[in-house]
Chains A and B, each alone.
Chain A
Amino acid sequence: MTWELLASILIIGLTNGLIISLVALGYTMVYGIVELINFAHGDLVMLGSFLALTCIALSGVHGDGSWLTIGALLVVVPIFTAAVNWAVERFAYRPIRSAPKLTVLVTAIGVSFVFVNLGLFWGGLPLDAFGGGRAAAAAKDVPELIGYANLLGAGCPIRITAKEILVVGITVPLLLGLTWFVRCTRLGTAMRAVAQDPVAARLMGIDVDRIISTTFVIGGALAGVAAVIWCVFNNTVFFTMGFRIGIDAFTAAVLGGIGNLPGAVLGGLLIGLVRALCEGAIDGGGQWVNTAVFAVLIAVLVFRPTGLLGARVREKV
């Protein structure tokens, strides 16, 4: 393998890994605090992407260098997804929070199905960007917002475009900010307390319901950011994309040790790299990407049943 190929694979893997990390953080935060695999999270990214496409289509502002549009989307879409996530927690998960885990999990699967169906209906809107609403289930093209020009010069074998810069420029500060928020602020400390022991946290005067709502709002907003970046980076949305994104992100969260924030980022980067290596470095490897990702996951879980950074918790008797 030439070093140029290796470098391109690393760039592709790490940028995709960062997008996966953003979604994985939503899974892992919610899991850490209420021990629920929020199956609907990937589909929330899908809904956010549909909103982004609708906004782009209605405003009509696109083409190379539409930084203002991206900025506006980064405000509108996260607010929408955060509100949806808040409502789902408030009206679907909260009433059954004390029920067995499986009950809540099945509810989450139900919410995911509802989202998928709403996405299908959304794709049927009679807009030009949606193909006039004639083929609701088909993938929709997102108009280009940033160009493909190679920033290292046209002749350079390694491609770095403004898209990669955008991904890194948005996700890395977000990840750092989130880490600071959870470690250092009062609200973050309360979140960690609720994750550790909700009853004890309540006894210390923490409003557990409010903390859980906050967690869903933050996770939802991250999903919104991921949705915008997905649209800019991949230029396509379809109503079942949430499943694919969700599987990758959830696998990343489990790989890193579910409930662990740095673990989710590490897992996301690893999965991005495994996917890129499998696609780019192995002949015909593109067909085996999912197999490679899950083979890595199963191998890790067999030897470290709680993920890479997950704490080994002794079961209490």
Chain B
Amino acid sequence: MKPLWWIGLVALLAVPLLDLLLPASWQIAGAMPKVFVFAIAALGVTVATGWGGLLHLGSAAFLAIGAYTYAVLTAPVFPFAIGFWPGLGAALVAGAVTGVLLGLPTARLRGDYLAIVTLGLGEIIQDVMRNLEPITKGAQGLSSLPGPAVPFAPPDAGWPGFYLYLGLLLAVVALLSRMRRSRLGRAMVAVREDEIAARCCAVDAGRTAVVAMAVAGALGALAGGLWAALYHSSNDPSTYDFSMSIMILGIAIIGGLGSPIGALVGALLLGGFSLVVLDRLATAMGGSVSDNVLMQPNNWKFLVYGLALILVMRLRPGGLCEEPKG
């Protein structure tokens, strides 16, 4: 890793300490775990789209699966109540299984056809979660879920959650960096670059695609479980809509598709902008809630995203942390 990354990492680790110096309305450590969740979800896209070349437009579906698996298994209204860590594990497994189920029938599809199937999954999951009322409680979602449990930490403090989520994120980044260099990671990239040549080198292209979907699904669902734990609720099913999938894809792309650290950088930029900066701006202007559509910071979100995507693609198509060729 370059020295710059180390500086960035130390700065990130110091955020809760810096917060102690700032007035309450400017503290950001509380909002940062959401950004880390988006980074983990974007890492799933890094595997499927960046390495496997499978355009993934339905990552929010996997977040929904993870969030609802976690919610059903930990909610007090159901008899399971297995707690934070087992719930997270179950979400991970559910995501991986869904990824395999999606990957098996669609392993033949490539490019845009696969893209629309993943997009369709995103729409179907929203319908399912909304309509299976006895299990998912419909539009309300399941609430009163246990939050992140950190051993030996005071239960009410904000910083254990911050470091827990950051630690999980860094663990995933480290794991994926290893995976990229492994036989599996190289096989994925080989299939992306030239499927026929990869097949000639005895790479099972179909199996590689299914594994890529499974890994992406597992990471998406892990992010979903973490998301639900953060909100103590599975949220309304329409949270997991297409714009969430696109935000996750945008994070992976702006950072540099295929680069795990890029996903982290992208999440800090896009997620930090929408979840931290806009939020703080809105609070700062909060006293005077205006009818004027232009005066609400949140209304500028999509314009800024859109222009950011267009400009990054125009000026630096490989993303901010482009994966070196070769």
Q: Across the interface, do A251 and B120 meet the contact criterion of CB distance under 8 Å?
A: yes
For the complex with contacts A114-B306, A121-B299, 9 further pairs of A-B residues with Cβ separation under 8 Å are A102-B49, A113-B305, A117-B306, A136-B299, A247-B119, A290-B123, A290-B126, A297-B120, A298-B117
Name the segment of A7-15, A104-112, A167-175, A200-208 touching the other chain.
Answer: A104-112
- Whether B310 contacts A305 by the Cβ 8 Å rule is no
Contact across chains for A297 and B317 when beta carbons are under 8 A apart? no
CA–CA, A33 to B156, complex, Å?
58
A243 is an interface residue with CB less than 8 A from chain B: yes
Residues of A within 8 A of B211 (CB): none
Among B33-41, B80-88, B182-190, B286-294, the stretch in contact with A? B286-294
Chain A residues near B116 (CB-CB < 8 A): 250-251, 254, 297, 301
* In the assembled complex, A29 has its CB within 8 A of some CB on chain B: no
Given A95-B314, A109-B250, A136-B299, the answer on whether A294 and B293 have CB atoms closer than 8 Å is no
The distance in angstroms between the C-alpha atoms of A21 and B156, with both chains bound, is: 56
A313: min CB distance to chain B, Å = 11
Closest 9 CB pairs of A and B: A124-B293, A113-B306, A110-B309, A294-B120, A114-B306, A136-B293, A117-B303, A110-B310, A117-B302
Query: Which residue on chain B has the smallest CB distance to residue A95?
Result: B314
A114 and B109: CB pair below 8 A? no
| Bound complex: CA A115 to CA B196 (Å) | 39
A contacts with B: majority SS: helix
Report how many residues on chain B are interfacial, defined by Cβ distance under 8 Å: 48
- Least Cβ–Cβ distance between B137 and chain A, in angstroms: 15
Interface 1/0 per residue, A21-55 and B, CB below 8 Å: 00000000001000001000000000000000000
Q: Does A317 belong to the interface (CB within 8 Å)?
A: yes
**Considering only CB atoms and an 8 Å cut-off, how many residues of chain A contact the other chain?**
53
A112: B residues at CB distance < 8 A: 306
Tell me whether B24 is interfacial, beta carbon within 8 Å. no
Q: Does B166 sit at the interface, judged by CB under 8 A?
A: no
Complex Cα–Cα for A92 and B314 (A): 8
Q: Which residues of B contact A105 (CB under 8 A)?
A: 55
Task: Specify the chain A residue showing the minimal Cβ separation from B124.
Answer: A291
Given contacts A114-B303, A124-B294, A301-B117, contact A106 B109 (CB under 8 A): no
Select A103's contact among B117, B131, B306, B313, beta carbons within 8 Å: B313
In the complex, what distance in Å separates the CA atom of A115 from the CA atom of B305?
A: 11
The answer on a CB contact under 8 Å between A37 and B293 is no
Question: Which of A110, A250, A294 is in CB contact (< 8 Å) with B313?
Answer: A110
Contact A96 B302 (CB under 8 A): no
Check A298 against B310 for contact (C-beta < 8 Å). no
Interface, chain B (partner A; CB < 8 A): 49, 55, 105-106, 108-109, 111-113, 115-117, 119-121, 123-124, 126-128, 130-131, 195-196, 242, 246, 249-250, 253, 257, 291-294, 299-303, 305-310, 313-314, 317
- Report yes or no: B128 in contact with A120, Cβ–Cβ below 8 A: no
28 contacts between A and B (CB under 8 A): A95-B314, A102-B257, A106-B250, A107-B310, A107-B313, A109-B246, A110-B307, A110-B308, A110-B309, A110-B310, A113-B303, A114-B303, A115-B306, A116-B302, A116-B306, A117-B302, A117-B303, A133-B292, A133-B293, A136-B293, A251-B116, A288-B127, A291-B124, A291-B128, A297-B120, A298-B105, A298-B120, A301-B106
Give the chain A neighbours of B242 by CB distance below 8 A.
243, 247
Q: Report how far A297 CA is from B58 CA in the complex, Å.
A: 15
| Chain B min CB distance to A65 (Å) | 34
Q: Closest residue to B292 on the A side, CB-wise? A: A124
Please give, as numbers and ranges, the residues of chain A lying within 8 Å of B106 by CB-CB distance. 298, 301-302
CB pair B306–A288 under 8 Å, yes or no, is no
Q: Nearest chain B CB to A173's CB is how many angstroms away? A: 30
Chain B residue contacts of A197, Cβ below 8 A: none
